[in-house]
């Protein structure tokens, strides 16, 4: 029977049934006393116990509150979306109004990420509006930036550490296929710009620099006929050119996007981007696969994601590209105060196709030294997720912590691991053991109190 369970519901990918609020079972090591706030992690957790794909599963947020060297509580809650409220009803049926042909972007799983902006917390998923939640994980509701958001919103917006602006985009299946937004530090949308695109392509992430945003137009295209026939909406298209589009962050409506052709690939996540003010050269890093779903939705023949670098030269219009590492990894992150700026360090989690890989590691890259990889290896049977960098007050870029939920297969329980980011190979500074299992998930953040 177990062998019939699909990968996205197997092992620690299986959903949990209960919403709980519990005190931690135990703490191993010492929680840094300066950490006061909450670690949040979003992820898929189908309410019915089944979904056709992790992307279609209801969003559940898990949080651990830390204060003064103590772990206060753990809590998990679903995001109360229309999909959660109507279990088993199709997303299309809930979202699409056949009378008006309108799509209701409140219909979303909200299962991908959690961010804070302008004093609000948002659960995000790229097919719909953000959902505002409270620190206690009560759902407030869909959020549209006072009506300024007219499209879905990416789950990977970027907060500029210099201006405090929230830079983001929305992509969708009908024109305009791509829309760029810039919200100020107070949360007011200051700019909306439709980007001319020939078709809808699946755009999970983007990148920003101090002065530009970079869109990833890659060969995973929307196929309406395939979707109407009950197949997956997205497919690889060898005929679609892979390209990065560079737009000045504050561009007016007439400023063109400058497109740079790159070798065909798919990039779920960028690590970061930055520009050289003297030459205008833009460096983009991210986790790359050479292809995705080329032979159908089960095809992973494109290989596993690895960390990669593209260098865009505006003087020639050309791109130099090369791998940084050949070890499979995903969920790249940098320090929040390095987003869009030249940076030395970046972090990923090892990647394997098993639900509970035998080896699970955090990689800390020193990019100034050619991409040297420091490794934190968790014990056998322990599986980690995305490593979130949490800054200390110090000035060094890597002065801080890495936080991730880890599942222990032997006990079927989970813990929040807190690593020293400057010494990632060392044992965790602390493990906050929660008395339940935290399923594998997508992205999250540390939000100071
Ligand atoms: Fe993502």
pLDDT tens-place string over residues 358-378: 889 999 999 997 889 999 999
Q: What mean pLDDT comes out for the span 62-76?
A: 98
CA 38 to ligand 1 centroid distance, Å: 20
CA 99 to ligand 1 centroid distance, Å: 33
363 near 285, Cβ under 8 Å? no
Q: What mean pLDDT comes out for the span 23-44?
A: 97
β-bridge partners, 77: 61
CA 348 to ligand 1 centroid distance, Å: 12
CA 58 to ligand 1 centroid distance, Å: 15
CA 268 to ligand 1 centroid distance, Å: 6
Q: What mean pLDDT comes out for the span 66-81?
A: 98
Q: What mean pLDDT comes out for the span 119-135?
A: 98
CA 425 to ligand 1 centroid distance, Å: 25
CA 155 to ligand 1 centroid distance, Å: 7
CA 316 to ligand 1 centroid distance, Å: 31
Compute, in degrees rounded to 10, the torsion defined by CA atoms 379, 18, 113, 53. 90
CA 444 to ligand 1 centroid distance, Å: 10
How far is it, in rounded angstroms, from Cα 302 to Cα 427? Answer: 34
CA 330 to ligand 1 centroid distance, Å: 9
**Residue reference for tokens 């297969």:** 409
Residues sharing a CB contact under 8 Å with residue 119, sequence separation 6 or more, in sequence order: 187
- pLDDT reported for residue 4: 80
Closest CA to 398 of 418, 422, 423: 422
CA 30 to ligand 1 centroid distance, Å: 31
Dihedrals φ, ψ of 82, to 5°?
A: -60, -30
**What integer best gives the mean pLDDT of the chain?**
96
- For the chain, what percent of residues have pLDDT higher than 90? 90
Q: What mean pLDDT comes out for the span 216-223?
A: 97
CA 200 to ligand 1 centroid distance, Å: 18
CA 349 to ligand 1 centroid distance, Å: 13
- pLDDT reported for residue 297: 80
Binding residues for Fe cation: 156, 204, 269, 443
pLDDT at 145 over 90: yes
CA 278 to ligand 1 centroid distance, Å: 32
How far is it, in rounded angstroms, from Cα 262 to Cα 67? Answer: 46
Q: What mean pLDDT comes out for the span 70-74?
A: 98
Q: Within 10 Å of residue 175's Cβ, how many Cβ atoms?
A: 11
113 near 96, Cβ under 8 Å? no
Work out whether strand 102-103 and strand 96-97 pair parallel, antiparallel, or are unpaired.
antiparallel
CA 98 to ligand 1 centroid distance, Å: 31
CA 26 to ligand 1 centroid distance, Å: 31
pLDDT at 128 over 60: yes
**Tens of pLDDT along 298-314?**
787 789 999 999 999 99
164-168, 190-194, 230-234, 325-329: the lowest-pLDDT one: 230-234
Q: Decide which of 311 and 252 is more confident.
A: 311
**Tens of pLDDT along 88-108?**
999 999 999 999 999 999 999
Q: What separation in angstroms does the CA of 435 have from each of 24, 26, 61, 90?
A: 6, 9, 16, 34
Q: Within 10 Å of residue 186's Cβ, how many Cβ atoms?
A: 11
Q: Decide which of 403 and 226 is more confident.
A: 403
Tokens of 346: 């970046």
How far is it, in rounded angstroms, from Cα 346 to Cα 339? Answer: 11
Q: Confidence band (pLDDT; 50, 70, 90) for 254? A: confident
Q: Report the b/e string of 62-91 with b at 16+ CB within 10 A.
A: bbbbbeeeebebbbbbbbbbbbbeeeeeeb
**Residue reference for tokens 């997508």:** 442
Closest CA to 287 of 302, 299, 276: 302
pLDDT at 2 over 70: no
- pLDDT reported for residue 3: 58
Binding residues: 156, 204, 269, 443
CA 43 to ligand 1 centroid distance, Å: 10
Q: Decide which of 261 and 394 is more confident.
A: 261
414 near 434, Cβ under 8 Å? yes
- pLDDT reported for residue 230: 83
CA 125 to ligand 1 centroid distance, Å: 9
- pLDDT reported for residue 1: 41
pLDDT at 315 over 80: yes
């Amino acid at each position: 029977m177990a062998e019939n369970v699909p990968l996205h519901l197997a092992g620690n990918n299986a959903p949990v049934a209960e919403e709980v609020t519990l005190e931690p079972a135990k703490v191993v090591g010492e929680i840094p006393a300066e950490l006061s706030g909450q670690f949040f992690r979003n992820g898929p957790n189908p309410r019915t116990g089944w979904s056709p794909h992790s992307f279609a599963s209801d969003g559940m947020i898990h949080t651990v509150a830390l204060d003064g060297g103590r772990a206060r509580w753990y809590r998990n809650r679903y995001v109360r979306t229309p999909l959660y409220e109507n279990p088993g009803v199709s997303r299309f049926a809930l979202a699409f109004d056949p009378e008006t042909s309108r799509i209701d972007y409140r219909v979303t799983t909200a299962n991908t990420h959690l961010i804070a902006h302008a004093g609000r917390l948002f659960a995000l998923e790229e097919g719909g509006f953000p959902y505002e939640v409270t620190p206690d994980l009560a759902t407030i509701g869909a959020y549209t930036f006072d009506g300024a958001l007219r499209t879905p919103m990416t789950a990977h917006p970027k907060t500029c550490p210099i201006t405090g602006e929230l830079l983001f985009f929305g992509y969708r299946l009908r024109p305009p296929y791509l829309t760029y937004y810039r919200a100020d530090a107070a949360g007011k949308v200051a700019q909306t710009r439709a980007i001319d695109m020939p078709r809808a392509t699946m755009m999970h992430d983007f990148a920003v620099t101090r002065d530009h945003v970079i869109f990833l137009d890659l060969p995973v295209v929307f196929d309406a006929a395939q979707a109407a026939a009950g197949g997956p909406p997205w497919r690889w298209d060898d005929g679609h050119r892979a390209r990065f589009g560079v737009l000045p962050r504050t561009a007016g409506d007439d400023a063109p996007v400058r497109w740079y052709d790159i070798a065909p690939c798919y990039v779920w996540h960028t690590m970061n981007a930055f520009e050289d003010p003297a030459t205008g050269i833009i460096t983009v890093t991210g986790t790359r696969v050479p292809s995705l779903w080329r032979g159908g939705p089960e095809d992973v023949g494109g290989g596993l994601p690895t960390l990669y670098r593209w260098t865009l030269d505006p003087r020639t219009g050309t791109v130099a590209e090369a791998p940084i590492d050949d070890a499979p990894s995903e969920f790249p992150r940098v320090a929040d105060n390095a987003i869009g700026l030249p940076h030395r360090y970046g972090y990923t989690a090892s990647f394997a196709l098993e639900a509970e890989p035998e080896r699970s590691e955090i990689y800390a890259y020193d990019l100034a030294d050619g991409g040297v990889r420091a490794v934190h290896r968790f014990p056998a049977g322990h599986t980690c997720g995305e490593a979130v960098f949490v800054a200390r007050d110090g000035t060094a870029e890597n002065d801080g912590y890495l936080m991730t939920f880890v599942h222990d297969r032997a006990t079927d329980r989970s813990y929040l691991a807190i690593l020293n980011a400057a010494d990632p190979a060392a044992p965790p500074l602390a493990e906050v053991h929660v008395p339940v299992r935290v399923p594998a998930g997508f992205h999250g953040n540390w939000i100071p109190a």
